[in-house]
Amino acid sequence: MSNQVRILLVGEELGDIGKLRELLCSPGTDTFFLESVKNYDEFLSVPEKDLFNILLLKIESSSRSAEGEIKDWLGKFPGKPLIVLSRNHETEYGNTCIASGAQDFLVLPELDSLSLRQAICKAIERKKFQNTFEESLKIQCELSEEFSKANDLKDLLIDVITHDLKNAAGGIYSFASLMAEGVQDAEMVEYIRLLSKRLVDTIDNASILSKVTSGEEIEKENINLGQVIREVVEEFSHSFKTVGLEVEIKCTDPLLIRANHIISQVVRNYLNNAIKYAASGRKIVIEANPSGIHALMKIADFGETIPAEQRENIFLRKIQLENGKNRGSGFGLAIVKRIAKAHDAKVWVEPNEPSGNRFCMLIEKIG
């Protein structure tokens, strides 16, 4: 080793320091520098502790006490190698010291210059390798976690886009089949137009959803939240009739917010959730009004109330309620949470009265 090795000896007795210096120091060289302290109080007064390369710990206690003392000093001297010096030559005692974290165990009466120097140099090299390995392992774990998250985001994005495409394409196919059988009216044609628009919008929104799921910045513009709600409700008009849901809208119009048009996905997913799981309540009430500096939207249903302990979890992917009633794959509300985050908005669910749930969004308004 080309640089000077700084060694701190702890627990020295008269004679030990002199013997160790004699073993380490060759005439005309300064490869090793040795300093000693008797206890932790003296250790605290040692300047520039981080400059020491290794700790020599002199122990004569029992195996159990030695184990605790070694771990204690390793905590006080983190990242540095530790060698135990002892007059106890029992193999079991030495094994206990090594198992407790010491790099080596040396018996004082048997020490010679070469074995001491080699032990110190090897302990330092082993500790460097161990530190490098642990840091590499930590980085690998972090990368593995990031990779896992990236895969989850990819799956979420694919699920959302596939779901929306299938819904729109399925609706178009059903109405087209009816029209082919001669069942035609203006409302059916209009609904096909709306579904076709949703299909195109889903494709157009794919890149925005990708940014949302990965936490990237998205473009925003002034948007009338009241208009967004009415347009999405119109999209769902046929679905509401099919399941027998009455929709009541109580919105301030205009209600301007700074948002990306992907914000409509929040309304869309809330309504889709109500159709799937709260149709038994026969009614949905949609409110969007100013609340201080924010716009507060609430979509209330009158179905079965979600238990308090499960309200946060439904915004996680693939969550099933404890009563066994599946809230679906969970990607709809999971993407809602990410869209809200991209707008510095807040989303949550609260109980409705006398039953059901209110799915909410709080977003900063303009003016």
CATH number at residue 255: 3.30.565.10
Confirm whether 274 is domain-assigned.
Answer: yes
The total of other beta-carbon atoms located within 10 Å of residue 365's CB is 20
Which of residues 111, 127, 142 is at a domain's end? Answer: 111
pLDDT at site 28: 57
* 360 φ/ψ angles, rounded to the nearest 5 degrees: -120, 155
Amino acid at 52: F
The C-alpha angle 83, 87, 91, rounded to 5 degrees, equals: 75
* 222 and 104 in a common domain: no
- pLDDT, position 322: 44
Distance of CA 148 to the CA centre of its chain: 10
Does residue 96 form part of some domain?
yes
Reference 218, options 229, 226, 207; nearest CA is 207
Residues 91, 243: Cα–Cα separation, whole Å: 79
Q: What is the pLDDT of residue 324?
A: 41
Residue 205 lies in a domain: no
Count: domains in the chain: 2
pLDDT of residue 233: 92
Do 333 and 279 touch, CB atoms closer than 8 A? Answer: no
In a domain, 48, yes or no: yes
How wide is the angle at C-alpha 286 spanned by C-alphas 351 and 245, nearest 5°?
90
Q: Does residue 224 share a domain with residue 83?
A: no
Phi-psi region for residue 90, left (φ > 0), alpha (ψ -120 to 50) or beta?
A: beta
Per the domain annotation, does 174 fall within a domain?
A: no
Q: Which of 277, 318, 321 is nearest to 299 (CA)?
A: 277
Question: Are residue 224 and residue 356 in the same domain, yes or no?
Answer: yes
**Containing structural domain, residue 235:** 218-367
Taking a C-beta distance cutoff of 8 angstroms, is the pair 288, 294 a contact?
A: no
**pLDDT at position 192, please?**
73
Beta-bridge partner residues of 256:
224
Q: Is the peptide bond before 290 cis (omega within 30 degrees of 0)?
A: no
Q: How many CA atoms lie within 13 A of 25 on its CB side?
A: 14
**Which sign does the torsion angle of CA 154, 157, 163, 168 carry?**
negative
Residue 64 in any domain: the answer is yes
- 3-state class (DSSP) for residue 61: coil
pLDDT of the chain, 367 residues: tens digit per residue: 457 888 888 886 646 777 888 888 766 566 888 888 888 888 888 888 888 899 999 887 776 788 888 998 888 888 889 999 988 888 888 999 999 999 999 988 888 888 888 899 899 888 888 888 888 777 777 666 665 565 665 665 666 666 666 666 666 766 667 666 666 676 666 667 667 766 767 666 676 777 777 677 888 999 999 999 999 998 888 788 888 899 999 999 899 999 998 899 899 889 988 888 888 889 999 999 999 999 999 999 999 998 888 888 888 755 444 444 444 444 568 888 888 988 999 999 999 989 999 999 999 999 7
Question: Strand 294-301 vs strand 357-364: parallel, antiparallel, or unpaired?
Answer: antiparallel
pTM: 0.51
Instruction: Flag whether 163 is in a domain.
Output: no
Give the CATH number, domain containing residue 11: 3.40.50.2300
Of the three residues 79, 111, 143, the one that is the final residue of a domain is 111
pLDDT, residue 164, reads: 67
Residues 89 and 223 occupy one common structural domain: no
Last residue of a domain, one of 52, 76, 111: 111
